[in-house]
């Protein structure tokens, strides 16, 4: 098995990998915590802030409806923000690391 | 080699099963039933043709489990949507909205937000690390034998719960829609699904899911456009909802006495406000946790990420899935509220008390009603899509359970990976038949049981056992075999155990006490209604009182049935007179316990391999190094 030739410790210790790891950790877990907190505002609001949810904004449309629709928009926005950064930045960083180490150790096991 | 004849024979057998002699009255009238069979026959024909094409491509275990990793991101996105939009979310949420308004819509949000978790922390690492199953990810750095055993047990548990809900729900649904006997529809779903999975493996399953998702989305868009043409777009539509007498009557019915001083406009507006369905907020939060973390632990969803070639394709597939699933739920708001106006909650509940018939009945009404060709064509179409939905979801679940059985338990544990490629495919097919036969048997055995909470239980187990294990083995250096074994066992058993002592179970003593009260109160209630009826002069009031009288009779009959059914029982399945635990969904307690078990188990156990393999796993999950290896070996 050629994969045994891979020095994984060296890859993880590589500054480019460390940089990717740091960027991804902060960005991903930040988005993750935000999305979970934002999601739970909906059931919590619907349960404990019903007076707020009932306030009409225009016509019969109230805060609760807009908030629930907003959950969809925010979920899509998070997905979009993540995908853009991953497509542009993370993928390029990872590709650099892959190219470097597959050249050094071989790409097939 | 699978011959073309076998595939055709299986398709014909399934079609015969559907068109069998045992027909009763369903939502589709007798004289229009041929239309449903025609539409459904067309769907079976197309999917069987796809299966025939797929069967030629399935040669290796990788083809069977993951379509050889050759599915594109776009295709996989549609297939995920097809896998995820089960009858529960497709018919169920439209029904909840039509009966309960805002709360039903709020419920749908969690089903989409769940994919944020999948997108951010699960999909890409799983693609980079996994091969065929969830346990492959766990076995990467932990003791393969131990983690494959606990992983397979959890995967089979989750899939069986989900499967049972689909089979029983599907049987009831088909009976309600078309009037085919319950047992026949369970067998028909089972045989069709087996034909797809057995011959076409993941290739056919993927295409069945894609076809079903496209049909589902098309049908929904057509219905929503027709709803908009009649009731207007967003603001006008909602104004119509508020002003609708059927909606106002439904809110008055839910609120009872508290509605007495409300104006009709206030009643209608109340339909757009929270709190009609969910009275215990903590249950909502607990269910939300199970959804948001459980989806990322559902084995049949995780398995879909092994079908794409790269982490980027996995990302693209979640993005498409989120667009389709989210768009679908937004449309559901209009489907649900549209049927609340066009059909009315009373009529929807008369056909099915859970509201599952809201979308099919809306289709019929929009097309021109029960006597029109278009109305019946649209009902037939929606009914056929519903059937295809069940078959597609069941196929994905059976494949997930069969892969755990064949790949993890037989190849991984019993034969310690010493299995030839031909034998692997054979094992996969045998496991598929076993799981499929089991699904049919469970479906028939569980006839008449209340299985609605089983989907929620499947999510709870996935969130409490699978999710913490997968997440921590991917991201936490100290995680090891001890943690995975502890987490899987604690997560699975606390989730199931808490449900067994929760209000979801049937408590005969409480049921009988309530029934007794109804029976005792019935004479007085009927006498009062009859005297009111005699005194009433206004025809509308008279009609209302007559309806109430019929309702009283129905309640009395139902109470007598309950008294009789439980006459020898005093306690629930686990011997309790009343629930020990008030939460309907265990997520709030069992998810933190699952995480805690993984953490404590890891800290208390020494595992050299898990530590040594961390750098390799972490480098690979982040970069996709050597992904070709996972797809090829």
pLDDT tens profile B27-75: 777 777 788 788 888 988 999 999 999 998 888 999 999 998 889 999 9
Helices (H) and strands (E) in chain A, counts: 5, 2
Q: Which residue has the higher pLDDT, B276 or B22?
A: B276
- Name residue A61's beta-bridge partners: A58
What is the pLDDT confidence band of residue B630, given thresholds at 50, 70 and 90?
very low
Q: Which residue has the higher pLDDT, B619 or B504?
A: B619
- Name residue B180's beta-bridge partners: B23
B 89-148 residues inside an 8 A Cβ radius of A: 102-103, 105-106, 109-110, 112-113, 115-117, 119-121
B306 contacts: CB under 8 Å, gap ≥ 6: B65, B66, B69, B126, B127, B130, B131, B132
Q: Which residue has the higher pLDDT, B201 or B541?
A: B201
CA angle B171, B172, B174 (to 5 degrees): 65
A32 touches B: beta carbon within 8 Å: yes
For residue B596, the model assigns a pLDDT of: 97
> Which among B268, B272, B284 has the least Cβ separation from residue A43?
B284
Check CB contact under 8 Å for B285 and A40. Answer: yes
CB-CB neighbors (< 8 A) of B622 in chain A: 17, 20-21, 24, 94
Do residues B124 and B306 touch, judged by C-beta distance below 8 A? no
Q: Which residue has the higher pLDDT, B493 or B450?
A: B493
Tell me the C-alpha distance between B590 and B501, whole Å. Answer: 14
- pLDDT for residue B159 is more than 70: yes
- pLDDT for residue A48 is more than 80: yes
For residue A73, the model assigns a pLDDT of: 96
Least confident of B199-203, B426-430, B448-452, B592-596: B448-452
- pLDDT for residue B628 is more than 60: no
| Number of other residues whose CB lies within 10 A of the CB of residue A77 | 12
Residue of B nearest to A55 (CA): B273
Which tokens hold the place of B25? 């009255």
Residue of B nearest to A14 (CA): B619
Interface ipTM: 0.92
Q: How far is B338 from chain A (nearest CA, A)?
A: 16
User: Is residue A58 classed as helix, strand or coil in its secondary structure?
Assistant: strand
Q: What is the pLDDT of residues B315-341, one digit of tens each?
A: 999 999 999 999 999 999 999 999 999
For residue B384, the model assigns a pLDDT of: 84
For residue A108, the model assigns a pLDDT of: 57
Which tokens hold the place of B546? 């007559």
Q: What is the pLDDT of residues B563-578, one digit of tens each?
A: 888 888 888 877 788 8
Check CB contact under 8 Å for B110 and A50. Answer: no
Tell me the C-alpha distance between B76 and B70, whole Å. Answer: 10
- pLDDT for residue B9 is more than 80: no
Rounded to 5 degrees, φ, ψ at B180 are: -75, 145
For residue A99, the model assigns a pLDDT of: 85
Check CB contact under 8 Å for A3 and B115. Answer: no
Check CB contact under 8 Å for A68 and B115. Answer: no
B421 touches A: beta carbon within 8 Å: no
Q: Which residue has the higher pLDDT, B582 or A3?
A: B582
B30 touches A: beta carbon within 8 Å: no
Strands A61-62 and A56-58: antiparallel
- pLDDT for residue B485 is more than 60: yes
A63 touches B: beta carbon within 8 Å: no
Strand boundaries in B249-351, DSSP class E:
none
Give CATH for domain B60-171+233-507+571-632: 1.20.1730.10
B447 contacts: CB under 8 Å, gap ≥ 6: B168, B171, B182, B183
| Distance, CA of B509 to chain centre | 30
Q: What is the pLDDT of residues A62-101, one digit of tens each?
A: 999 999 999 999 999 999 999 999 999 998 899 888 888 8
What value does the CA radius of gyration of chain A take, rounded to a whole number of Å?
A: 22
What is the pLDDT confidence band of residue B14, given thresholds at 50, 70 and 90?
very low
What is the pLDDT confidence band of residue A107, given thresholds at 50, 70 and 90?
low
Check CB contact under 8 Å for A47 and B284. Answer: yes
What is the pLDDT confidence band of residue B17, given thresholds at 50, 70 and 90?
very low
Cα separations in angstroms, B141 against A10, B477, B598: 18, 10, 15
Q: What is the pLDDT of residues B491-513, one digit of tens each?
A: 999 999 998 888 877 788 888 88
Do residues B64 and B303 touch, judged by C-beta distance below 8 A? no
Which tokens hold the place of A41? 């505002």
Residue of A nearest to B475 (CA): A25
B452 touches A: beta carbon within 8 Å: no
Mutate which of A75, A95, A104 to test chain B, going by most B C-beta atoms within 10 A? A75
Tell me the C-alpha distance between A57 and B415, whole Å. Answer: 65
For residue B508, the model assigns a pLDDT of: 84
| Distance, CA of B574 to chain centre | 26
What is the pLDDT confidence band of residue B176, given thresholds at 50, 70 and 90?
confident
B330 touches A: beta carbon within 8 Å: yes
For residue B456, the model assigns a pLDDT of: 84
B281 touches A: beta carbon within 8 Å: yes
State the average pLDDT for chain B.
87
What is the pLDDT confidence band of residue B537, given thresholds at 50, 70 and 90?
confident
Which tokens hold the place of B177? 């829609």
Q: How far is B119 from chain A (nearest CA, A)?
A: 7
Check CB contact under 8 Å for B120 and A91. Answer: no
For residue B10, the model assigns a pLDDT of: 47
DSSP 8-state symbol, B501: T
Residue of B151, B352, B376, B312 lying closest to A92 (CA atoms): B312
């Amino acid at each position: 098995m050629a994969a045994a030739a891979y020095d994984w410790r060296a890859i993880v210790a590589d500054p480019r990998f460390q940089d990717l790891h740091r960027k991804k950790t902060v960005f991903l877990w930040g988005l993750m915590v935000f999305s979970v907190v934002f999601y739970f505002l909906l059931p919590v609001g619907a349960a404990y802030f019903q007076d707020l949810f009932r306030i009409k904004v225009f016509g019969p449309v109230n805060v609760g409806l807009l908030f629930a629709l907003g959950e969809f928009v925010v979920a899509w926005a998070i997905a979009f923000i993540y995908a853009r950064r991953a497509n542009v930045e993370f993928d390029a960083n990872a590709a650099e690391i892959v190219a470097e180490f597959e050249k050094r150790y071989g790409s097939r096991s | 080699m699978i011959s073309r004849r076998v595939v055709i024979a299986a398709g014909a057998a399934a079609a015969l099963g559907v068109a069998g002699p045992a027909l009763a009255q369903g939502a589709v009238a007798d004289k229009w039933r041929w239309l449903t069979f025609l539409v459904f026959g067309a769907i079976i024909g197309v999917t069987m043709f796809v299966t025939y094409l797929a069967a030629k491509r399935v040669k290796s275990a990788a083809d069977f489990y993951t379509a050889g990793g050759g599915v594109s991101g776009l295709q996989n996105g549609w297939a995920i949507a097809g896998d995820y939009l089960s009858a529960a979310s497709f018919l169920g949420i439209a029904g909840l909205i039509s009966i309960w308004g805002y709360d039903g819509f709020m419920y749908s949000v969690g089903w989409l937000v769940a994919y944020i978790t999948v997108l951010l922390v699960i999909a890409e690492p799983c693609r980079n690390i996994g091969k065929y199953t969830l346990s492959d990810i766990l076995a990467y750095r932990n003791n393969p034998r131990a983690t494959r055993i606990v992983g397979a047990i959890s995967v089979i548990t989750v899939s069986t719960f989900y499967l049972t809900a689909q089979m029983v729900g599907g049987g009831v649904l088909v009976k309600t829609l078309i009037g085919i006997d319950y047992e026949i529809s369970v067998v028909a779903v089972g045989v069709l699904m087996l034909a797809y999975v057995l011959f076409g493996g993941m290739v056919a399953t993927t295409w069945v899911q894609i076809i079903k998702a496209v049909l589902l989305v098309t049908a929904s868009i057509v219905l929503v456009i027709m709803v908009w043409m009649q009731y207007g777009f967003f603001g006008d539509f909602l104004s119509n909802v508020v002003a609708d007498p059927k909606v106002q009557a439904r809110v008055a019915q839910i609120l009872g006495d508290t509605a007495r001083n409300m104006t009709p406009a206030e009643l209608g507006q109340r339909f757009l406000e929270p709190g009609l369905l969910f009275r215990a907020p903590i249950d909502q939060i607990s269910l939300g946790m199970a959804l948001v973390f459980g989806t990322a632990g559902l084995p049949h969803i995780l398995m879909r990420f092994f079908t794409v070639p790269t982490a980027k394709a996995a990302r693209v597939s979640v993005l498409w899935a989120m667009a389709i699933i989210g768009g679908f739920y937004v449309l559901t708001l209009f489907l649900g509220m549209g049927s609340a106006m066009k059909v009315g909650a009373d009529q929807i509940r008369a056909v099915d008390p859970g509201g599952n018939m809201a979308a099919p009945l809306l289709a019929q009404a929009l097309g021109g009603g029960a006597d029109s060709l278009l109305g019946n064509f649209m009902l037939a179409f929606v009914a056929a899509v519903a059937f295809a939905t069940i078959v597609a979801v069941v196929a994905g679940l059976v494949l997930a359970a069969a892969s755990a059985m064949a790949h993890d338990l037989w190849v991984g544990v019993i034969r310690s990976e010493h299995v030839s490629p031909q034998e692997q495919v054979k094992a996969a097919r045998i496991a598929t038949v076993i799981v499929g036969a089991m699904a049919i048997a469970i479906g028939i055995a569980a006839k008449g049981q209340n299985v609605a909470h089983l989907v929620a239980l499947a999510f709870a187990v996935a969130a409490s056992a699978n999710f913490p294990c997968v997440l921590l083995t991917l991201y936490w250096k100290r995680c090891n075999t001890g943690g995975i074994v502890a987490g899987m066992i604690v997560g699975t058993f606390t989730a199931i155990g808490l449900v067994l002592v929760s209000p979801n179970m049937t408590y005969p003593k409480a049921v009988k006490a309530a029934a007794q009260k109804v029976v005792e109160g019935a004479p007085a209630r009927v006498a009062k209604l009859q005297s009111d009826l005699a005194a009433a002069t206004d025809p509308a009031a008279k009609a209302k009182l007559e309806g109430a009288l019929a309702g009283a009779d129905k309640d009395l009959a139902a109470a007598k049935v309950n008294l009789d059914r439980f006459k020898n029982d005093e306690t629930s399945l686990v011997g309790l007179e009343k629930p020990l635990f008030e939460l309907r969904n265990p997520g709030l307690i069992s998810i933190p316990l699952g995480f805690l078990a993984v953490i404590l188990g890891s800290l208390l156990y020494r595992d050299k391999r898990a530590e040594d393999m961390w750098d390799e796993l972490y480098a690979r999950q982040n970069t996709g190094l050597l992904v070709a290896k996972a797809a090829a070996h």
